[in-house]
Structure 1
Amino acid sequence: MLQDGTYAEYMCRTETKRQIGRPDLQADASIILDSYQLTLSPMTLEDIPKLHELSIGVNWPHRPHDWALLIQLGNGYVARDEIGRVAGSAMWFPMGSHRASVAMVITSPRFQDHGAGSWLMGHILRETGSREKILNATKAAYRLYISLGFTPLKTVFQQNGVAVRVPDAPDTATPMRAEHRDEIVRLDANAYGADRGHIFERLFQVSQGTVIERGGRLVGFALCREFGRGRQMGPVVAETEEDAIALIHPFVKEYKDTFLRMDTRATDGPLRTYLTEAGIVLYDTVTTMTRDFAGAAAFIEKDGPITFGLVNQALG
């Protein structure tokens, strides 16, 4: 796994990729806000120390290696003032050929009331073009996204905390093996509605996993990796909440007395009851919102495998 302060290898592997296919910045790549001139530039891994400071400033939990993973997987902008201080960020992640997940839209507190978020989002919206757009809006950013034409779709419940107990659960999940990977990507595409194979290529490198198989086929999986204050359980894809519980149960057992997090759209029911009993309690909510997404309702309410746990709020 990639640890804090050890993203140099990531930089060597990925910087060439980051320079290919990068659209030119628009003519309005600078703006004057509250007497400060801000300028946009493409986000790179060298920006991580300052991006980490930016996310700490708004109480987001991302550590340097969390930023490294996101920068490798997505496309982003950094806003800087005249003396090089990072004043904002925005990213988008391609999900197949037709969808984009928008995330990591952060503005320094001193610019939050001066239009910096709208300016950053303008570049993201131009770059994503006609793609279906999906994001998870914090309460602070909700009105901004409404003003930009996004429509609320579903609440995401951020459950986290130290796992102080291991509630009873079925022992039907088994450890993920290398030969499961292709099936996992296919099952996720069925649940998510887009091929996220490039996301999983990296997730598999930094995650452990569990699966459930029935009748010779894979019917559910869960991944768990280091993130933020501890570990994130996600994505979790299953056909029922009971299977979702069985998939995360080995992680709760292994990482008892560790800070665990799961972002889920499941409403009150067995899954969230299990998490709460374990000590992984409701901390906050965000709102999944969409734009240019005609099939948004079907994305959430569908038959077959369901995404019970998000990769994280950035990647969905």
Structure 2
Amino acid sequence: MQKSVRLKSFELIAQDINSVDVSLLHALSIGVGWPHRPKDWDMLRRAGRGIVAVDGIGRVFGSAMWFPHGDDFATIGLVITSPRTQAQGTGRWLMEQVFEQCGDRDLSLNSTHAAYRLYVSLGFTKEAIVYQYQGDVAPKLPPLPELNGQLHELSNDNVEEINALDTRAFGTDRGKLLALLAEGASVCTLRRGDEIVGYSMCREFGRGHVVGPIVASNDQDAIHLTAVHLKDLAGRFARVDTREKGLFAEFLQQSRLAVSETVTTMSKGRRFLNRKNGEPAVYGLAGHAVS
């Protein structure tokens, strides 16, 4: 695989994403209007692998990361090219480097509008739309449906208790990622009897807080698992990424979170999304990169 690419006036070389200072990655994401803080980049580098496109004097012009979940599946994210190189094939070259590292894994990603045609040309197919809800949370949340079960705070030391439920919802084991996400996060579970039937996390990210992942079997459970965090964020900036359209989406809107943009969930290889009625599902994404 070609480890360098020649642009109009200079050459870019592929390097491991851990080889550059996080400030350069932060500047790259700021340049395209993405909200990632240095802390967010650090966490994502711990969770996955990736490359950067660097010129001869160490400037970073692009990035691409992938996050292995087991041996046969990975998500792709943080595919960024600086405005200076966006029309010169850098994105395709970065993706070719990722494909080489991922091997035969099935893949999924969430595509921006700008990158959609590139991913189609690389063999990805559309599965669903993700709605990014965000804004300053209402001082008072809308009325909630009746709670079926008990909400409990989960210690970060016991986050493995949600792994089996999450695997059913997500489709593969992502226990390592959940442990990283739980560091510094508040985690809530919904129990019916002795069984955990749903959970949610809330952590600092970007401009404020993100509530996600959220895993539940129905809209009512998902609403309670989200509200338990939003009530503590009244008047503060929060974000929820979801593929839902029904009662759960209405609750987010009534909590004064509005759709700011959309991205498209796509897959290459086996189909990623396989939701079944009555089964646990991912109501809120952990993030666009890790899904």
Bin the TM-score by the shorter chain: over 0.9
Structure 1 residue 85, shift from structure 2 partner: 1.0
Q: Does structure 1 residue 71 correspond to structure 2 residue 45?
A: yes
CA distance in structure 2 between the aligned counterparts of 1:141 and 1:214, rounded to whole angstroms: 43
Tell me the amino acid that sits aligned with residue 223 of structure 1: M
Q: 1:186 aligns with which of 164, 185, 209?
A: 164
Structure 1 residue 183, shift from structure 2 partner: 2.6
Q: 2:234 aligns with which of 228, 233, 256?
A: 256
Structure 1 residue 210, shift from structure 2 partner: 1.1
Distance of aligned partners of 1:302 and 1:289 in 2 relative to their CA distance in 1, 3 Å threshold: farther
Tell me the amino acid that sits aligned with residue 116 of structure 2: Y
Residue in 2 that maps onto 1:291: 268
Residue in 1 that maps onto 2:184: 206
Comparing 137-146 and 198-207, the one that deviates more: 198-207
Distance of aligned partners of 1:78 and 1:145 in 2 relative to their CA distance in 1, 3 Å threshold: same
Q: Does structure 1 residue 47 correspond to structure 2 residue 25?
A: no
Contact 1:222–1:237, Cα closer than 8 Å, also in 2: yes
Q: 2:208 aligns with which of 226, 230, 240?
A: 230
Residues 155-201 of structure 1 show CA distances to partners (whole Å, capped at 9, x for unaligned) of 00000001024122245523224575223111101101111011012
Tell me the amino acid that sits aligned with residue 259 of structure 1: F
Structure 1 residue 83, shift from structure 2 partner: 2.0
Tell me the amino acid that sits aligned with residue 47 of structure 2: L
Residue in 2 that maps onto 1:272: 249
Q: Does structure 1 residue 159 correspond to structure 2 residue 133?
A: yes
> How large is the RMSD of aligned CA atoms in angstroms?
1.5
Distance of aligned partners of 1:45 and 1:236 in 2 relative to their CA distance in 1, 3 Å threshold: farther
Structure 1 residue 205, shift from structure 2 partner: 1.4
Q: Does structure 1 residue 307 correspond to structure 2 residue 282?
A: yes
Structure 1 residue 87, shift from structure 2 partner: 0.3
Query: Could you say what secondary structure the match of 1:60 adopts?
Result: coil
Residue in 2 that maps onto 1:113: 87
Query: Could you say what secondary structure the match of 1:272 adopts?
Result: helix
CA distance in structure 1 between the aligned counterparts of 2:273 and 2:173, rounded to whole angstroms: 19
Structure 1 residue 215, shift from structure 2 partner: 2.6
Gaps of 5+ in 2: none
CA distance in structure 2 between the aligned counterparts of 1:188 and 1:144, rounded to whole angstroms: 31
Query: Could you say what secondary structure the match of 1:97 adopts?
Result: coil
Structure 1 residue 303, shift from structure 2 partner: 4.8
Distance of aligned partners of 1:301 and 1:107 in 2 relative to their CA distance in 1, 3 Å threshold: farther
Tell me the amino acid that sits aligned with residue 257 of structure 2: I
Contact 1:45–1:71, Cα closer than 8 Å, also in 2: no
Gaps of 5+ in 1: 1-25
TM-score, structure 1 as length reference: 0.87
Q: 1:281 aligns with which of 240, 258, 266?
A: 258
Residue in 2 that maps onto 1:81: 55
Tell me the amino acid that sits aligned with residue 130 of structure 1: D
Structure 1 residue 296, shift from structure 2 partner: 3.3
Structure 1 residue 82, shift from structure 2 partner: 2.0
CA distance in structure 1 between the aligned counterparts of 2:192 and 2:158, rounded to whole angstroms: 13
CA distance in structure 2 between the aligned counterparts of 1:301 and 1:45, rounded to whole angstroms: 42
**Paired-residue identity, %:** 40
Contact 2:218–2:278, Cα closer than 8 Å, also in 1: no
Distance of aligned partners of 1:41 and 1:178 in 2 relative to their CA distance in 1, 3 Å threshold: closer
Residues 207-257 of structure 1 show CA distances to partners (whole Å, capped at 9, x for unaligned) of 101111013200000000000000000000000011000001111111111
Query: Could you say what secondary structure the match of 1:44 adopts?
Result: helix
Tell me the amino acid that sits aligned with residue 161 of structure 2: E
